[in-house]
Amino acid sequence: MTNTLHRFGDAETFRDDFIVFAIASKGKNDQDSLPKLRRFLELAIPFKPVNLGDARHGGALRPSKDMHPTSHWNRETKPDFDAVLQGLDHPTTCAAVFDNKVAAEDFVKRVKEEDLGLSVNISTSIDGAEQCCFHAGIPRHSVGYSLGFEGKTEKLPNSQVLMLSTMCGHGMVSNSLAKKMIDWVKEGRRTPEEAASYLTRFCSCGVFNPSRAKRILEDARTKTT
Amino acid sequence: MKINPNKCVACGNCTYVCPMGAIYIDPVIKRATINRDECVECYACFNGLSQEHLNPTMVRTMRKAFQMMRLRFDPEPDVCPTAAFEPDELSWPRVVRRAFSDPRVPHESTGVEGRGTEEVKTNDVSGRVKVGEVGFTIEFGRPGVGVRFHEIQKMCWALAKAGVSFEKKNPITSLMTDVPTGTLREDILNEKLMSAIVEIKVPVERTEEIVRLVWEVEKQVDTVVAMGVGTRCDEEGEDHVVAPILERLGYKLERAKTNIGLGRVNVVATPEQIRQEVPAA
């Protein structure tokens, strides 16, 4: 899931960003993997994830295809984990996102105990993932390092916009919308929580971290970098 | 993707949500319009915007009235008030745009969503990158810049010339007409994508050489490049081999995806599944 690998920021900015995802390998262990993937998602809920999702249907906060005009005044900004569990109908990547290390560590330990037989990955700072493994008593099997962005980097926006938009590595959260949300928070037109929820709905696999987004938007309110 | 001009009310919400910046309000027809050459068919507009089904005439009238009074609208920014987006029937070669840009569509060649590759995230089961090997994911266009295949072609040619193995279970490899030379299909070269990953594997001794080669080629491509380097850890879960090489090359390693090795094979592999890489010349 390279869509979680290249999040912009230094290790410190990932202190509230832990993605744990499960995936079956085509032709190796994907047969009958659906109930295991669902179980993986169920196991995450007691550890209070900030997002949960699968790669086909999206996360715990989704756009509506039939929005009522009055919902402009009472939009739901709370994640709907049941919708994710009910919607999972095909083996695909399933992810749980946590905004604190303790929850991520405890969840990884619980997943190990459950022994689902699926590949499980942690995407966060290198140290953060090592600590999760240590807590669960698991040696790392493989590691995929992000070397960051290179080439024509002059085409990229500022760091706060990048920190927001790269939380959907599939690129569904546009740089323009991230910039607009920063501006709206600065203008006082929306709260950081509301702005984060708009961005979250565009993520198509549920790995966007609304809690980190809220913090970035709060920081950007007083100082845009 | 297209926008139905009979429904569009030119609210402008969609102009911000397009990752490629390809949607604009046409000043002549006063409707949102898609620059088809820049559109990558990612469906972020269609899938990401919530939809209302308001009467377009009513909405336009209200907007005009507010505009005359210089009142600012403050609608929700992630809503298309009249559900004006309508997916197109895509044909070859344009359909590859969607295959590489809409993460919900699995790649035909690999059956995997997103950019279509499992890379080291299933390494505990697939054994894709073994001890003493390094897997590279060289991604183009990310984040939010986009790329055309003719830019990716430059990297494929350079890597093939260096004699590397392209990962067979990768959508870019499946679009090569000549894998040993890294040549992509001619008819797709001008198609634009959100992003795509070229995936290779080399012995660990070649890590520095490949990084330097990527540095050289990325000077010639008109987009951003994101490199990922995957390796197998030792029995203690440590990597004392690849990380030092990358750090010596000047990289400050901050983030990684860590496969914690809980996967198990439960299907006997066929010979075809075992043969995972295509050796280049």
Tell me A124's DSSP state. Answer: E
Question: Complex ipTM above 0.90?
Answer: yes
Q: What confidence category does residue B271 fall into, taking pLDDT thresholds of 50, 70 and 90?
A: low
**Is B256 in contact with A14 (Cβ distance < 8 A)?**
no
Parallel, antiparallel or unpaired: strands B277-278 and A51-54? unpaired
Q: Quick check: B26 contacting A, CB < 8 Å? A: no
Residues of A in contact with B254 (CB under 8 A): 9-11, 14, 125-126, 146, 148
Q: Quick check: A64 contacting B, CB < 8 Å? A: yes
A223 vs chain B: nearest CA distance in angstroms? Answer: 22
What is the CB neighbour count within 10 angstroms for residue B64?
A: 10
Residues of A in contact with B137 (CB under 8 A): 2, 144
Chain B 252-271, residues with CB within 8 Å of chain A CB atoms: 252-267, 269-270
Cα A107 from Cα A98, distance rounded (Å)? 9
Q: What is the pLDDT of residue B111?
A: 57
C-alpha distance from residue A6 to each of B139, B163, B219, B256 (Å): 10, 27, 20, 8
Tokens 């499960």 sit on residue: A22
Tokens 């999040």 sit on residue: A7
Q: What is the pLDDT of residue B272?
A: 62
| Token code pair at residue A106 | 């405890």
Helix (H) or strand (E) holding B18: none
What is the CB neighbour count within 10 angstroms for residue A100?
A: 16
Report, as an integer, the average pLDDT of A43-58: 96
What are residue A38's DSSP bridge partners? none
Q: Which amino acid type is present at position B122?
A: T
Give residue-wise pLDDT tens across range B159-181: 999 999 899 888 999 999 999 99
**Is A170 in contact with B103 (Cβ distance < 8 A)?**
yes
Q: Quick check: A86 contacting B, CB < 8 Å? A: no
Q: Is the pLDDT of residue B113 over 70?
A: no
Report, as an integer, the average pLDDT of B274-279: 48
**Is B256 in contact with A123 (Cβ distance < 8 A)?**
yes
Q: Quick check: B244 contacting A, CB < 8 Å? A: no
CB B31 within 8 A of CB B59: no
Percent of chain A predicted with pLDDT > 90: 88
Across the interface, of A11, A143, A162, the residue whose CB is closest to B254 is: A11
Cα A167 from Cα B138, distance rounded (Å)? 19
Give the list of residues 6+ apart from residue A70 with CB closer than 8 angstroms, or none. none
**Is A26 in contact with B137 (Cβ distance < 8 A)?**
no
CB pairs under 8 A between A and B: 348
Q: Quick check: A119 contacting B, CB < 8 Å? A: yes
Cα A199 from Cα A194, distance rounded (Å)? 9
Helix (H) or strand (E) holding A192: helix A192-202
Q: Quick check: B77 contacting A, CB < 8 Å? A: yes
Q: Is the pLDDT of residue B277 over 50?
A: no
Q: What is the pLDDT of residue B281?
A: 33
Q: Quick check: A121 contacting B, CB < 8 Å? A: yes
Across the interface, of B21, B143, B269, the residue whose CB is closest to A165 is: B143
Q: Is the pLDDT of residue B253 over 90?
A: yes
Burial of B275 (0-12, 13-18, 19+ CB in 10 A): exposed
**Is B226 in contact with A6 (Cβ distance < 8 A)?**
yes
